[in-house]
Structure 1
Amino acid sequence: MTSTHESSSMSFDAVIDTEGVATASRHTMLSQVLTQASRLGVSIVLARLLTPHDFGVVAAGMVVMVVAWQLTDLGTSAVVIQREAVDDALLSSLFFFNLLLGTLLAALTVTLAGPMANGLGQPAAAPAIQALAAVSLLGALGNMHHALLRRTMQFGRLATVNIANAVVNGAVGIGLAFAGAGIWALVAGTVAGVAVSTAGAWLYVAWRPSPSFSLHRLREVARFSINFFWSSALAVFFAQLDKVVISRMLGGVALGTYTVAQRTVTSPMNAVGATVSTVSFSAFAREQDNPETLRAGAIRATGVVALVVLPAMVGLAVMAEQAVLVVYGAQWEAAVPVIQVLAPVAVVQAVLSVTSSVMLAMGRSDWLYRWGLAYCLAGAVVMMACARWGLLGVSLGLAGVMVVLAPLEMKMSLSLIDMRLSTYLRSVLPLVLVTVVMAAAARLAAEGAALLEAGVVLQLAAAASTGGVVYAFLIWHSGLPAVDDARRVLGRWAKRR
């Protein structure tokens, strides 16, 4: 086994086809930043125009849509990415299988929208659920083409597709919101964005399904596909479980408040975490037989995640009250304690996305499935028990589940590449210390502004600017590998532009 020092000190250039990974990271980061910025922007506009109850109605519809969309894939996209070789017969069989699932799910969603809305405790969400059923069919049409873009690491084209989705989603959503369309602004924006994304993937990928369907070829990949599907489905269910519990036990107003808080927290996390997990899975899958490279890649990928997510989430938690009042308004003040709890959880989830990519790339989708089941069972019990203490109780319950289970999952994932959990976590300790100093400086700046009787806008500005300067200064002079990695990616981007 290679020593920890050797593994962690390898240059980023030595980790998995550097030029390809750097380019992929660059493109994926761009698409994620624009996508998350668009979604957050739409949420902010809608939060200013809608009440928490209205937002809760939309959130209930989105719960059904997200679960249905996940079911249309059934793990087939991961098969295309993970297998060493794919052919037209397999791709066509998977495509028509997806299309059949998407059609059936869309029909079921339209038919059962009423009972599903009632089950969530939001009967008014039924029309939105029916409209969002189109996403299942549109997503099924594009699954294979998106998977082929990821398999061949054409992340530049994938970024273009995702950016088009974000732009259309934002333009339609914000435009209709200002026109007074209410909850339909978010519904229409979502459907339009997915339609553009699917069309773009077809435009960029030359492959077209042939009129053939083979059950034999499907059976060849069934084991990996089903295990990955269950792990993904459970992950999606766990991600929606908190909203289901809140909708059923606390009502629409609480669900709307929680949704705004969660989107505020997850937008920065997804912009980085989704980038790293997307690129890491594709890259790690190509190096399954090279644990030394995977160890180095896991540490460096985690460093890049922590470099961005740690200061963003800790800073948000420290300044949550001012941020909510400035961005959303006083009617959303109940979201403040929820954000303060969920922000640290987002850091754990972002780091976990790297180790999950290792587990998946090593072909252990069965492990991922079992962990998904553990999260769901523990989450359901804990969050329902904590719901008696309101939104804060559910949030603390979710945080408790993540804090207990995430390190155990990380340890199991890292065992596949002969790495200790302590070694892995030690690599981000310097970033944690720098972030603590940044948070203290930001808080002191905000308190100083408050003593001078400055308003919340100036308090937030003082905290953000002070914290940003302190963090940038310390990071720039730290000599951490993650900083070099970020410089290298941004440097290549600047040169190419």
Structure 2
Amino acid sequence: MVRRSFAFAFADKTTALVLQLATMAVVSRLMTPAEVGLFMISSSLVIMIEAFRDFGVASFLIQEPKLEPELVRSAVTIIGLLSLGLGLLTFLSAGLFAAIYGDPELGGLIRLASLAFLAAPISNPLLALLRRDMNFGAVARINIAAMAANAVITMSLAFTGHGPVSFAWGALSAAFINAAGAALYRPEWWIFKPSLKHWRRVVPFGAWTSAVTLLHMLYEAMPRLLLGRILGFNAVGLFTRAVSLNQLPDRLLLNAVQPVVLPAFAAKARNHESLSPPYLLGLSMISGLQWPALLALALLADPIVRLLMGQQWMEVVPLVRILAIAMLPLVPSYLAFPLLVTLGRIKLMAIVTLVTFPIATLIVLVCAQFSLTAVAWGMLVANTVQVGAMLVAVRRHAAFNWSDFGMIAVRSGAVALCTAAFPAALVAMHGPALSVPLLAAAVIGAAACWVIGLMVVSHPLSAEITRLVETLRRFRLGSNVA
């Protein structure tokens, strides 16, 4: 069941990656870094307010051992009240944000984005119930439809010269398609009958979950918000695009893992099984996928930026290389949230994030006084501090041996170096500005070296690849017989 769920989630995120790359390639040639940066500022501000909109209801519905009808209705009522209230607050505060950043266009973008709060009370609880049931096939189909609409509308409006508002209309269409799709696949209309009978069970969980979510979003958005004030929208556009490129492995690999992890952890917890082994296995899988991808991306940054974004974005290249290194330490944090939620330790997660966030903010604030490059290197320090604190918190409640953790790092590190060997050789021979054929050769060679590295160090991912090959072989034999 879990493996099948991962397959659906992976298909979902693969489609998302393709659509994101297509949108990035088109829009980057039609808009300037400053225009992209303007939208990113509006998006960051709205997303932080959205942290309270869900109020942890999705996680609550997934991890709750037994869902009673009145409990579900109470949770959904709370999310409805918060979403509508925060949507109105966002709409009314748009002028204030525009004044802070000195650009009236920012206010219009925020007002348009606030309309998505009308769809959230429908989509969020229904999608959570689908995930609780491990129905990731339906979730994937809904997400793909929403992302396709987002991409088509964004690119169409960008082509016709609508500028940053193209992003806002695309995101808004995706929000309403998510709501319509969730209602189609899970038409549980009874959950929307208002009730606050069990608000005392929902609110404490939601408060801490919202605090964690908000702090996490602040951590991600904080460099953009500070750069917008200190270095301007052009700097925000460049930095955001560099981050987006480095998040491509996340969007393809980790975002496929995370929606499945919380239901899977919750199922094991309900069966009173230890969560330490699956946590370590998850770290091994994620590091074995992400570290090689990031090292290859750092080496191939020049041709990738040139191909996807065009000549006007070449200032992004050194930022991509530095941020790829800065993201390497983040692996242990990706599973921390679902693990601590499952163990009922969401308060600890909030405390750790609250302690590390001011440190990260100070680092970025100081670095922003110098340059974008300094900010990128500062993210390496900030990420290391955050992950160190998170690991200590996780180990308190899901005890694991540091030697096991170290072995995971050694194996995945060896695989990453093996993967990087072929692209590094090509860059050494031909220089960083590889042609498209050489870029394709570098990617294929890196993939081959990745598989070899997995086999040589007996990485857990090698067993998954062997299983996949065997499944495909049986499928092919069955097709031939038919």
Structure 2 Cα separation of the partners of residues 342 and 155 of structure 1: 32
3-state SS in 1 of match to 2:269:
coil
Task: Determine if the alignment matches structure 1 residue 481 to structure 2 residue 460.
Answer: yes
Match of 2:244 in 1: 263
* Residue of 321, 325, 330 corresponding to 2:306: 325
Verify the 8 A CA contact 1:69 1:135 in the aligned structure 2.
no
Task: Determine if the alignment matches structure 1 residue 49 to structure 2 residue 30.
Answer: yes
Match of 1:86 in 2: 67
Question: Residue 265 of structure 1: CA displacement?
Answer: 1.1
Structure 1 Cα separation of the partners of residues 38 and 26 of structure 2: 16
Structure 2's unaligned 5+ residue stretches are: 477-482
Verify the 8 A CA contact 2:302 2:434 in the aligned structure 1.
no
Match of 2:164 in 1: 183
Match of 1:463 in 2: 442
Verify the 8 A CA contact 1:324 1:335 in the aligned structure 2.
yes
* Residue of 9, 13, 16 corresponding to 1:32: 13
- How many residues are treated as equivalent by the alignment? 476
Structure 1 Cα separation of the partners of residues 469 and 43 of structure 2: 35
1:37 is matched by which residue type in structure 2? V
Question: Residue 84 of structure 1: CA displacement?
Answer: 0.5
* Residue pairs, 1:196-207, within 5 angstroms: 196-207=177-188
* Residue pairs, 1:235-314, within 5 angstroms: 235-288=216-269, 293-314=274-295
Match of 1:232 in 2: 213
Structure 2 Cα separation of the partners of residues 470 and 104 of structure 1: 52
* Residue of 123, 129, 137 corresponding to 1:148: 129
Structure 2 Cα separation of the partners of residues 494 and 293 of structure 1: 34
* Residue of 159, 169, 186 corresponding to 2:150: 169
Task: Determine if the alignment matches structure 1 residue 138 to structure 2 residue 119.
Answer: yes
Match of 2:174 in 1: 193
Question: Residue 258 of structure 1: CA displacement?
Answer: 0.9
Verify the 8 A CA contact 1:276 1:354 in the aligned structure 2.
no
3-state SS in 2 of match to 1:182:
coil
Structure 1 Cα separation of the partners of residues 474 and 136 of structure 2: 18
Verify the 8 A CA contact 1:98 1:141 in the aligned structure 2.
no
Structure 1 Cα separation of the partners of residues 241 and 254 of structure 2: 20
* Residue of 323, 342, 349 corresponding to 1:368: 349
* Residue of 41, 46, 50 corresponding to 1:65: 46
1:35 is matched by which residue type in structure 2? A
Q: Closer, same or farther in 2 for the Cα pair 1:71/1:289, shift >3 Å?
A: closer
3-state SS in 1 of match to 2:189:
coil
Question: Residue 60 of structure 1: CA displacement?
Answer: 1.2
Verify the 8 A CA contact 1:95 1:209 in the aligned structure 2.
no
The TM-score, its normalising length taken from structure 2, stands at 0.92
3-state SS in 2 of match to 1:288:
helix
3-state SS in 2 of match to 1:48:
coil
| Structure 1 residue runs of 4 or more that deviate by more than 4 Å after TM superposition | 289-293, 489-497
Deviations 1:207-264 (A, max 9, x none): 2135644434011232222111111111111111111111111101001111111111
Structure 2 Cα separation of the partners of residues 180 and 134 of structure 1: 23
Task: Determine if the alignment matches structure 1 residue 97 to structure 2 residue 85.
Answer: no
Question: Residue 385 of structure 1: CA displacement?
Answer: 1.0
Match of 1:5 in 2: none
Match of 2:97 in 1: 116
Q: Closer, same or farther in 2 for the Cα pair 1:130/1:304, shift >3 Å?
A: same
* Residue pairs, 1:347-358, within 5 angstroms: 347-358=328-339
Q: Closer, same or farther in 2 for the Cα pair 1:390/1:450, shift >3 Å?
A: closer
Task: Determine if the alignment matches structure 1 residue 346 to structure 2 residue 327.
Answer: yes
* Greater Cα offset, 148-157 or 219-228: 219-228
Q: Closer, same or farther in 2 for the Cα pair 1:152/1:345, shift >3 Å?
A: farther
Structure 2 Cα separation of the partners of residues 203 and 390 of structure 1: 49
State the percentage of identical aligned residues: 23
Question: Residue 300 of structure 1: CA displacement?
Answer: 2.0
Q: Closer, same or farther in 2 for the Cα pair 1:43/1:121, shift >3 Å?
A: farther
Structure 2 Cα separation of the partners of residues 129 and 495 of structure 1: 52
Match of 1:4 in 2: none
Structure 2 Cα separation of the partners of residues 291 and 87 of structure 1: 21
1:221 is matched by which residue type in structure 2? V
Q: Closer, same or farther in 2 for the Cα pair 1:428/1:494, shift >3 Å?
A: farther
Match of 1:445 in 2: 426
The TM-score, its normalising length taken from structure 1, stands at 0.90
Q: Closer, same or farther in 2 for the Cα pair 1:120/1:472, shift >3 Å?
A: farther
Question: Residue 388 of structure 1: CA displacement?
Answer: 1.2
Verify the 8 A CA contact 1:269 1:347 in the aligned structure 2.
no
Structure 1 Cα separation of the partners of residues 185 and 466 of structure 2: 30
Q: Closer, same or farther in 2 for the Cα pair 1:484/1:428, shift >3 Å?
A: farther
Question: Residue 492 of structure 1: CA displacement?
Answer: 5.2
Q: Closer, same or farther in 2 for the Cα pair 1:182/1:410, shift >3 Å?
A: same
3-state SS in 1 of match to 2:268:
coil
Structure 1 Cα separation of the partners of residues 472 and 447 of structure 2: 23
Verify the 8 A CA contact 2:126 2:182 in the aligned structure 1.
yes
3-state SS in 2 of match to 1:165:
helix
Verify the 8 A CA contact 2:326 2:377 in the aligned structure 1.
no
2:49 is matched by which residue type in structure 1? A
Question: Residue 375 of structure 1: CA displacement?
Answer: 3.0
Q: Closer, same or farther in 2 for the Cα pair 1:428/1:487, shift >3 Å?
A: farther
Question: Residue 374 of structure 1: CA displacement?
Answer: 2.1
